[in-house]
Amino acid sequence: MAGILLKEPLKNSGFQPENPQCGKIKNLHEVSRKGPNARHFSASSASKNARITSKASGQDFAGLDALSGKAPDTKSEPLDNRGNRFTPPEAKDEQKWRLSKASRKVLHDHDVRCSIRACGLPGKDTAHISLRPVAARDGSTRLAVDGVTHCGSARCPHCAPLRASDVSARVGAVLKAVHANGYGAAFATWTMRHDRNTRLSNMRTVQTKAISAMQRGGLWNRLLRDGLVGFIRVFEVTWGARTGWHLHVHAIVIHRDGAKAAVSAGQSLTGRWIDLLAKAGHIAVGSGQKVVPVSEDKGLSDYGVADLRSWGMASEMAAGWKKTGKRPNRLNVPELLALAAEGDRLAGQKYAEAVSALSGQRLLVVGPRLKGILDLDFEDIADEQEPELEAQDEKPVGLLPVAVWKRAANHPVFDHAWIIRITKKLAITEGIEWCDVYRLIWERIMQRSPPD
């Protein structure tokens, strides 16, 4: 699986540049003497007015523009309808690290203690952080980071996409087994009435208890005798300024006698859901519930994972929302964090509340009975459970000391996103030797020259 981070930390004893000439370049003029295959850039020798010409792109970068990985403004750049230069899109790997930095700050400011705050930081036994180029599906190159910890939370920009893969694989296995056995399925949505004052933590408690109670008692036993196999379920949550939190359940109801029987069983369970919430002092109106038949996996490709995969889109949209003041009526968790990264304090408060209220919530529940009937062998996915990652074969472009990665975690300018951006630009796109990129990163973050 390309792009997944290694679970096992690297344990190199020290940084050993492959090229013995690394770090020994006295000035930028030496680059032209090294030949086209040995292109170096020494940060210590680059003055504010120094210029570098890229042979790969033909662009000429001036001083600090080259250090930051940004090209200077030129008249040839495309303009929008108002004469403004377009802002280049941020790569997804950079987005992930920028959002991760924002999540640490938000959770720290709201005193939410959770494993997300440590996600992406070095593991206990890690000696170096490895930066590894991987090919993305869109043809671009991204950098995977090995030797860091993973929290496994669905509210984490790093781990949510990994969790999406886990959920999709399990849902696919369930649906495959359903149709292999000739069973039918229905898609159910169960909601409850709420307002701006309804607390998310209370909604979680009420709905979790209702789901548990639905699978006990006379109605449940009768449905089982009539051919109900069971159901799988996931929670989804959004927030709106007018209506507050909206936590709801999506379930796939499975029946031995086909989709029509699954719909009938789902409707009976919906009535039970409404009764249980009424006993708990809450209202679930019939018009807010929905049960429809499904065939194969049509319409269920994003079941339970749409929000887990939406961090990149949320990051791209948030800047425009913040600038114009216009935004959707309801925001999911990734969108709340993306707005918080743009300085929206209310969005940050709601993101922190979601992390706190939903901590430990299981993402997808199948249950042992259903897995036994369908002959499935996998564990339910628990929130904040470290994902199982596969080792990759790609060769690292370079290593960074743990001290540098830790210092960059909360650096106001030269942070993890900057490291990813500058490494891709200089080491991969421009072909500059890693030892000189390493020196640049060290000097910018540690504010001193690296040790010899």
Q: In the chain, where are the structural domains located?
A: 1-150+389-452, 160-304+358-382
- Tell me which DSSP letter residue 21 carries: T
Q: For residue range 28-51, what is the model confidence (pLDDT) as tens digits?
A: 233 323 333 333 333 333 333 333
Q: Model pTM?
A: 0.79
* C-alpha of 171 from chain center: 19
H runs (alpha helix) in 325-366:
333-341, 345-357
Average confidence score pLDDT of the chain:
79
Q: Would you state the pLDDT for residue 389?
A: 54
Closest alpha carbon to 11 in 124, 121, 119, 132: 124
> How is residue 252 written in tokens?
């796939």
Check whether 57 has a pLDDT greater than 70.
no
Angle at 405 between CA 399 and CA 406, to 5 degrees: 150
Between residues 274 and 87, the one the model is more confident about: 274
Q: What is the mean pLDDT of residues 342-359?
A: 95
> How is residue 149 written in tokens?
């910890």
Check whether 6 has a pLDDT greater than 80.
no
Split at pLDDT 50, 70, 90, the class of 344 is: very high
Q: Would you state the pLDDT for residue 86?
A: 38
The neighbouring-strand residues paired with 250 are 189, 234
**Cα separation of 53 and 57, whole Å?**
9
Split at pLDDT 50, 70, 90, the class of 90 is: low
Q: For residue range 119-178, what is the model confidence (pLDDT) as tens digits?
A: 999 988 888 999 999 887 777 888 999 999 999 898 999 888 888 888 888 888 999 999
Question: CATH 3.30.70.360: does it fit domain 160-304+358-382?
Answer: yes
Bridging pattern class, strands 244-255 and 381-382: unpaired
Q: Would you state the pLDDT for residue 322?
A: 67
Would you report the helix, strand and coil content of the chain in percent, each value rounded to 5? 40, 15, 45
**Cα separation of 400 and 415, whole Å?**
13
